[in-house]
Amino acid sequence: MSSARVLAVEALLQVEFDGAYANILTNEILSQNDLSSADAGMFTDLVNGTLRWERYLDTIINYCSSREIVDLSDEVRSVLRLSTYSYLIRGTQAHAIVNEGVETIRNLDGERATSFVNAVLRRITERTAEEWRIYADQRVEDADQEAIMYSLPNWIVKVFQSQIPDQLERIALFEKQNQPPSITYLRRPGTETDTTGLAPGNWSPYALREIDKKLSRQKLKTGELTVQDEGSQLTSWALSMALIEGPDLNWLDMTAGPGGKAVFLAAIAQMRGAKLVANEIHPHRAELVRNVLRRSELNAEILIGDANFGAWAPKSFDRVLLDAPCTGLGALRRRAESRWRRTEKDLADLVIGQRKLLRSAIAATRSGGIVGYVTCSLHPRETTEIVLEAAKTHKIEFVDVPRLLPGIPLAPGPFLQLWPHRHDTDGMFMAILRVE
């Protein structure tokens, strides 16, 4: 039995009951345990994949268990989920699944649950993964079909159904959101980087995709590269490319943590002789911004405080980036547990905060300056509705973002909306508002 499996189950328990974030937790566990490269990769996939597919896995387990999964012990539930994921999604051999599942629960909880785990896993492995898809698809209620088969909460599926009426395209999105994202790096603007072990990105001129993990990680340590999704790069790139009249010396990143977009903006600002102010409300995230800028040999003024009450005079900035806190519906593939934590109530609360922050961003921007409003969301309430509402109450005009990013297939209109299944990026939204 691989120790990676035991560590993965322990990680799942921490995510479910301690509120841990899977991406942070997996890195911490890997730094504390000497796993081979293969085991480290398996461990990470077991944790994130099990979390992504949780609802579908629970459905299959319930078909094969004499007790509902909610009534099982925490350890048994996590072992069954992980084992079922290994079999149905990773394609691990049936005999290995049963043996490893039994050994894992024995390691975690002694002998008392081994017979039960053995019986459930044997029933699951009586059918192939494809047979289970057919079996489950024929039995779930129509209203729950897409949510169960692609492992999402019903409310999120309803959002995507309203956005993408075509079912085949919607399924392509669901499938993409259940796959781990490829690793993309930002090459710091203004520098030359040896691209051995790397490939160009699809859209951003500064994006590089990982081919050789060892070579790319060396460049990451030296600050030549920072990990950043190509969608995030495009929002910073568009903000820096938009033309403005008059002075262009003072830039603001209103919600800068953990610092990815601040690196991009600081590098461009430095090339143009401008100054970046990076604001972050949370001190620990402000420290992350400071560290990533230092590692990249870039300068910015770091402020800690609520951006709604910024330590700056009104109309102080020529360019403002507002990367507003959001539901993260555009990054479900990246944050494996987030689909189970976000609720419609969260959406309502976040929209209120987004409105306030956008008002503050407009107030901080001089006449003729621009505000880039960004969210990693596919929900219109967090994207187009926010900026169209602002246009009714503020003297602003929209900059045509797609014209700043030629060659990228985008929907008509002045906004940027990226889709994981169309662009192989996170689902980033951007509007650029010129303040009159």
CB contact set of 19 (below 8 Å; sequence gap of 6+): none
DSSP 412: S
Distances (CA, A) of 405 to 39, 205, 235: 40, 10, 10
Question: What distance in Å separates the CA atoms of residue 187 and residue 219, rounded to the nearest whole number?
Answer: 10
DSSP 435: E
Question: What distance in Å separates the CA atoms of residue 66 and residue 243, rounded to the nearest whole number?
Answer: 65
> Would you call 326 a catalytic residue per the annotation?
no
Question: What distance in Å separates the CA atoms of residue 364 and residue 357, rounded to the nearest whole number?
Answer: 10
Radius of gyration of the chain (CA): 23
Q: What is the DSSP string of 334-373?
A: TSTTHHHH--HHHHHHHHHHHHHHHHHHHHTEEEEEEEEE
| Phi, psi angle pair for 359, to nearest 5° | -60, -45
Question: What distance in Å separates the CA atoms of residue 311 and residue 226, rounded to the nearest whole number?
Answer: 28
Exposure string for 366-404, b = 16+ CB within 10 A, e = fewer: beebbbbbbbbbbbebbbeebbeebeeeeebeebebbeb
Question: What distance in Å separates the CA atoms of residue 361 and residue 365, rounded to the nearest whole number?
Answer: 6
How many other CB atoms are there within 10 angstroms of residue 272's CB atom? Answer: 12
Tell me how far the alpha carbon of residue 395 is from its chain's centroid.
33
C-beta separation of 279 from 259 below 8 A: no
Question: What distance in Å separates the CA atoms of residue 349 and residue 366, rounded to the nearest whole number?
Answer: 29
Question: What distance in Å separates the CA atoms of residue 353 and residue 355, rounded to the nearest whole number?
Answer: 5
What stretches of 364-419 show up as alpha helix (H) in DSSP? Answer: 384-393, 401-404
Q: Which of 376, 396, 401, 431 is catalytic?
A: 376
Distances (CA, A) of 264 to 226, 241, 269, 279, 387: 10, 12, 9, 15, 24
* Residues with catalytic roles: 376
